Amino acid sequence: MSKKNAVVIGAGFAGLSVATHLAHQGYQVTIFEKNNTPGGRARKFEAEGFVFDMGPSWYWMPDVFDTYFSHFGKKSSDYYNLIRLDPSYKVVFGDNDSLDIPANLSEFRELMETLEPGVGPKLDEFLKQAAYKYKVGIQDLGYRPSRSIFEFTNPKLLMDMLRMDIFQSMSKHVSKFFKEDKIIRLMEFPVLFLGETADNIPALYSLMNYADIALGTWYPLGGMHKIIEGMISLAQEKGVKFQFGAEVSKINIQDGVARSVNTLDGKEYKADVIIAGADYHHIDRHVLEDKYSNYSDTYWDKRVMAPGSLLFYLGIDKKLNNLRHHNLFFDELLGPHADAIYTNPRWPERPLFYACVPSITDSSVAPEGKENLFLLIPLAPDLKDTEEMREKYYNIIMDRLERLTGQEIRSHVVYKRSYAHNDFKSDYHAFKGNAYGLANTLMQTAILKPSLKSKKVKNLYYTGQLTVPGPGVPPSLISGHVVAREVIKENNL
C-alpha cells in the first residue's frame, strides 16, 4: 500500500511536532513554511555577532520536551544541552527592591518565609495541589483532543476536575494561601504566559506554579532555537520534507474533502490529509472559502486573545550589572488590575516589562565583552502600531531599566531592532497581531476552544496555540501529538 501524503502548513513547534509524529507512523509529509527559516515565533536571527531568539525565551516543563523526543526513541540531550538557571529569575518591585528566585525548593521556601512569616505550610499545600493539577492537567487533559464533552465524563476524571478548581479564578485561589503582596504577584505571574490576568484564568493553572517552582527554569545552550534545530534534524531523519518561502494561499476542496494546496507561486500540491499549523483564523477565514470556514468573523471577534508584544532586540557593547538571565519588572504594576494590559484597546500608561540577558549564561549569543538584551512589553492585541509609539515605549522602559539597575545602557546600544503587532501580522498572519494565541480563560478551555478538526471538510485539521491545549511551547508540542493521533485514527494507513 502506498504511503499517504500529508501536507503541514507552518514549521513552528506544533507543525514540526505533528509532521514528525505522522512521518514516524509512515506518512509522507511535506511542511510548507511561509518564511525562509523554520521555527515560527521561535525563529532566530543574527546581526553584528549577536544571535537573537525572536520569540520564546523561557524553557519550562522539561518533561514535556523529554516526552516528545521519547516518542521517537530519542532524548532532548541528543540535540541540545540544558542547564538549570539558578537563580531561576529576578523580580524587580522598585528601587533597591528585588528578589532573586532560587532554583532550590528549600531555599525558595525560606525566601517566602522572610516575606510572610509562617507561610511555609501554606506554600507546601499550594504546591501539593499544583503538582496534582500538573499531573492531571498536563499529562492527561492536555493530551485529549477535546472534540466531545464525552471525553470528560469519566467519573474519576470529573472528580479530578472538581479538585482542580476550574470554576475558581487564579486570583482568588492564590489569595486563599498568601497575604503578602509580593508573594501574590509572584504566584500570579506565570499565568501571564496563558494570555490573561489572574482574575480571568481558572485556578486549574496553578499547575504553572509547579512548573515554575518545582520543575524549574532551564536554558538550552546556544538559544531556544536549538530546540527547533533538534526538531528539524529529527523530522528530516523521519523523512519529512520542507519547502521554505512557500506560503499556502488556498486549500482546494472537492466533494467535501481537502485534496490539495496552492502556494503563492501558483503551484499545486496534492494531499491525502492537510494540517494547518499556521494561524487558525488566517486559514479559517482567508485561505479557505467562506463556506468551508469553521467559524464566522463574529465568532473570532468575540474571542479573548492573548496579548500582543512589543519586542526589542538589543546588542550592548559592554557587560551589564544587576541583571539575571530572566528579569521581571513589576515596579509599575500596582496590583493585578493595573492598566488592563490584555483587553483594554490602548497603549498602557505604566507597562510592566521583561528583560532577558541570555549572554549572562551563554557566551555564544554575543561577542566577547558584549551583552545580548531582549526586552518585551505585553500589550493588548490589535493596537495601532507605529514607529513613533515603539520609540516612545522604548524610552519609557529604558528609563526604568537604567534607573533600577543603576547604569547607562542606551548610549551603549550598538544594535537595535523592534518587533510588534505589524510584524506579527506580516510574518505569521497573527490574528489582531497577537503574540501568544488564544487566552486560556474558562470559556476558552478544552471543548470551548476552536476545534482541531474542520467541521465541514474531511481530512483538514488544525494544530497550534489557537486550538487545544493552548498557548505556549510545551502545549504546542502536545498539540502536534494530539492532532497526529486524530489523523492516524481517522485515516488508517
Domain assignment present for residue 91? The answer is no
How many residues does the structure list for the chain?
493
pLDDT digits (tens, 9 = 90+) for 239-250: 999 999 999 999
Q: Are residues 279 and 334 in the same domain?
A: no
Q: Does position 2 have pLDDT exceeding 80, yes or no?
A: no
Residue 329 lies in a domain: yes
The enclosing H or E element of 300 equals helix 297-301
Beta bridge partners of 219: 83
Residue 270 lies in a domain: yes
Query: Do 198 and 261 sit in the same domain of this protein?
Result: no
Identify the pLDDT of residue 345: 72
Q: What percent of the chain has pLDDT over 70?
A: 96
Q: Is 263 in the same domain as 190?
A: no
The reply to whether 145 and 158 lie within a common domain is yes
Give the residue, 460 or 344, on which the prediction is more confident.
460
Residue 155 lies in a domain: yes
Residue 458: Cβ within 10 Å count: 15
Residue 87 placed within a domain = no
pLDDT of residue 333: 60
338 pLDDT more than 70: no
Q: Is residue 86 part of a domain?
A: no
The pLDDT, as a whole number, for residue 15 is: 98
Do 368 and 402 lie in a common domain? yes
Average the pLDDT over 454-478 and give the result: 96
H-run or E-run covering 186: helix 181-188
Q: How much is the average pLDDT of 342-363?
A: 87
| Burial class of residue 426, CB neighbours in 10 A (0-12, 13-18, 19+) | exposed
310 and 231 housed in the same domain? no
Residue 70 CA to residue 409 CA, distance in Å, equals 43
Verify that 111 and 206 share a domain, yes or no: yes
Q: How confident is the model at residue 342 (pLDDT cuts 50, 70, 90)?
A: low
Q: Alpha-carbon distance 408 to 391, whole Å?
A: 18
- Residue 335: its pLDDT value, please? 46
pLDDT tens for 205-236 read 999 999 999 999 999 999 999 999 999 999 99
Which of 151-165, 321-335, 363-377 has the least mean pLDDT?
151-165
pLDDT of residue 202: 92
Residue 313 lies in a domain: yes
140-163: pLDDT as tens digits: 889 999 998 878 877 776 676 667
Instruction: Tell me which of 215, 240, 269 is where a domain ends.
Output: 215
- What does residue 169 show for φ and ψ, rounded to 5 degrees? -75, 155
Does residue 333 share a domain with residue 253? no
Per-chain mean pLDDT for the chain: 94
Is the same domain home to 232 and 289?
A: yes
Could you tell me if 19 and 74 lie in one domain?
Answer: yes
Q: How many domains does the chain have?
A: 3
For the stretch 39-74, pLDDT in tens is: 999 999 999 999 999 999 999 999 999 999 999 999
Of the residues 215, 246, 279, the one at which a domain ends: 215
Over residues 96-113, mean pLDDT: 98
Structure confidence at residue 429 (pLDDT): 98
pLDDT at residue number 340: 47
Residue type, 19: A
Please give the backbone phi and psi of residue 361, each rounded to the nearest 5 degrees, phi first.
-95, -35
Is pLDDT at 173 greater than 50 in this prediction? yes
Domain boundary among 215, 235, 260: 215
Enumerate the β-bridge partners of residue 39.
none
pLDDT of 343: 57
Do 175 and 248 share a domain, yes or no? no
Residues 363 and 424 in one domain: yes
pLDDT confidence band for 339 (50 / 70 / 90): very low
Q: What is the CATH number of the domain that holds 167?
A: 1.10.405
- Residue 252 is inside which H or E element, if any? strand 248-254
Which CATH number do you get for residue 243? 3.50.50.60
Report if residue 32 sits inside a domain.
yes
pLDDT digits (tens, 9 = 90+) for 279-326: 999 999 999 999 999 999 999 999 999 889 999 999 999 999 999 999
> Which residue range(s) make up the domain with 112?
104-215
Measured CA to CA, the distance from residue 3 to residue 272 in angstroms comes to: 10
CATH code of residue 392: 3.30.519
3-state secondary structure of 6: strand
CA distance linking residue 52 with residue 422, whole number of Å = 19
